[in-house]
A and B are shown apart, each in its own frame.
Chain A
Amino acid sequence: MALNTTVKVHPVVLFQIVDAYERRNSEAARVIGTLLGTVEKGIVEVTNCFSVPHKEYEDQVDAELSYASNLYALNHRVNPQEVIVGWWATGNEVTSHSSLIHEYYARECKNPIHLTLDTTLQNAKMGIRAYLNVPIGVPGGSVGCMFTPINVEVTCYEPEVVGVQLCQKTVAGGVGGKKIVEPLLDLAQVAEASRRLTGLLDQVLTYVEDVLAGHAQPDNAVGRALLDMVNSVPKMSNEEFENMFNSNVKDLLMVITLAQLVKTQLQLNEKLTLLTTL
């Protein structure tokens, strides 16, 4: 059991866990479910998950395992590459019930990962933690197992980043209400990005001025990064740039006129064919 495995989680999984927690039955304090994904050379990539109904008693756990295998089969039909890689639970600690559940999942796959998402918001943060089960104890004597933490990272496909960024706008909501956001039009998005860039540039400039005036400590790493950034702007002479700029602008304007022309042509065509009487 390699302890240097890292777990890469996709944002979809986190969304699902939070949603399942919000929809739980009133008597359940926490929710559990299965993690699906792929395992590759010590890196476990979790791309999907679903929740499994379960009940916890004093020293017993009832989980609907047939439900879990049914849903896994359904999912497998859509996505044959996803396999069970572990299980998740909400809450901020690993309880004794967890080892029982973990045993079941150890039968479904090798080295199941256990992921916890702290929805009770202890420590004022929603901690995402992952654990592996390792056996401990004295050989020949009492043996047990322990959940050891491993690293968790968040990866996304490129479109997922775009989705997450849009959803993040709902965070900056009003005091009482949940703010809603619309998918932005192209132009508005570019405008907003340029605003963000100017903000970032201002920050960098204030830092540099502070260093020059002696208010802040110069940091070599930051300095080298700044040098990289400044050098990465392509050096073009004025004429080259003018040429490139003008030709691109001409192309785009021509395409815009063509598109408008096509639209008017369509309308004309429609009128002609529909309204001719014979």
Chain B
Amino acid sequence: MANNWAGPSRRLPENESSIAYVQMDGLAVMKMIKHSHEEATRNLEIAQGALLGLVVDTRLEITNCFPFPKHNDDTMDEEEYQLTMMRQLRRVNVDHFHVGWYQSADVGNFLNVPLLESQFHYQTSIEESVVVIYDTQKTTRGFLSLKAYRLTPQAIQMYKENEFAPENLRNLKVGYETLFVEVPIVIKNSHLTNIMLLELSEMIPEEEGSKFLDLGTASVLENQLRCLMDRVDELNQEAIKFNRYQQQVLRQQQDKNRFLVKRESENAARKAKNESPLPDDDINKLFRPIPAPQRLNPMIVSGQIQTYSQHISQFCSQSLAKLYITQALQNAKEGKSTP
């Protein structure tokens, strides 16, 4: 396991199947979009649901999906809901193999402990499961944002042991960059669906799809930067904690040394007076070793900050492109109006 930096395309040991890419049906995509959008506009909550499909060679096909009800509803157990739903869908010949789950995220802030835990449970029970994150804000602005993630083998190992001390992480070579691996998504539609799409394109007015050419960047940037600042603050707190821990360990070390030296001198004095030396107390009982702070939270926060920065850079690059287009237009207009 130690030399297993493999990404999804390299060879993995036989007991692990690798998923090279995820193929989604247009139906699953549209259902996810609809559910996430309705949850976001009505309740401002995150939408979650299950993905159904099949595994073919190195490709994970997702053909359908269904949403999960809210957790505060106690009339039916969640497990029961899932099982009933899947049984009903099986009656109409829908693929009922549960291959993963999806979650909507606002501005990309999805990386937290519950997500890791859920994905860990999924991946240990179903080998090839993925979690698909759908970004509501970004899609409303006009760019469809769907990403599929899987936990790396190292991350699974780390979770199994449930030990997040620094030495453990060093042994497994887990860092915030190797927690998740992104799997590329492609969208495929059957021929009949393609025909339907052609019909649909005639019925949807032309101007409705150009939201992403909007030049306004201030509000979006503000939001993203604010989230980034919050996360950086959190990371700062974690770093302070770690520094404090280091200082404590250092001080404890010094105390230990001083105690030993004192002991030595006492023993030497007693020997000079021909008395029996003092028993050697167990050092560790007197100076209990201070536990190292858990590294899970800072790692998650770092991963989150990384995703934020990536998003922000992407957003800025396309805003720059749009600005340059307007500059070209303005220059053309100036060129025409001056003569």
Interface residues of A (CB under 8 A from B): 10-12, 14-16, 18-25, 47-48, 50-53, 64, 67, 70-71, 74, 77-79, 81, 117, 119, 121, 125-126, 128, 153-154, 156-168, 170-171, 173, 178, 180-187, 189-191, 193-194, 233, 236, 238, 241, 245, 248-249, 251-253, 255-256, 259-260, 262-263, 266, 269-270, 273-276, 278
Contacts and interface: CB of A to CB of B under 8 A. Distances in A.
Interface stretch (B30-38, B119-127, B261-269, B271-279): B30-38
B197 A168 contact: yes
B333 interface: yes
Contact of A67 (B64, B67, B91, B196): B91
Given A245-B327, A273-B242, A255 B316 contact: yes
Contacts of A163: 26, 29-30, 33, 139, 144
B138 to A, nearest CB: 9
B209 A67 contact: no
A273 B182 CA distance: 25
A259 B224 CA distance: 11
B176 A159 contact: no
Given A14-B196, A171-B198, A273-B166, A78 B31 contact: no
Nearest to A10: B34
A121 B192 CA distance: 10
Contacts of A263: 306, 309
B175 interface: yes
Contact of B200 (A11, A19, A249): A11
B29 A269 contact: no
Nearest to A51: B92
B92 A167 contact: no
B162 interface: no
Nearest to B88: A71
* Majority secondary structure of chain B interface residues (helix, strand, loop or mixed): helix
B306 A266 contact: yes
A50 B36 CA distance: 18
Given A18-B192, A154-B203, A170-B187, A25 B213 contact: no
A158 B75 CA distance: 33
A42 B195 CA distance: 30
A278 B33 contact: no
Contacts of A77: 69, 73, 75-76, 81
Given A70-B84, A157-B37, 10 more contacts: A22-B190, A53-B92, A157-B34, A159-B140, A163-B26, A163-B139, A167-B193, A180-B188, A186-B315, A245-B327
B64 A19 contact: yes
B249 A189 contact: no
B246 A278 contact: yes
A266 B198 CA distance: 47
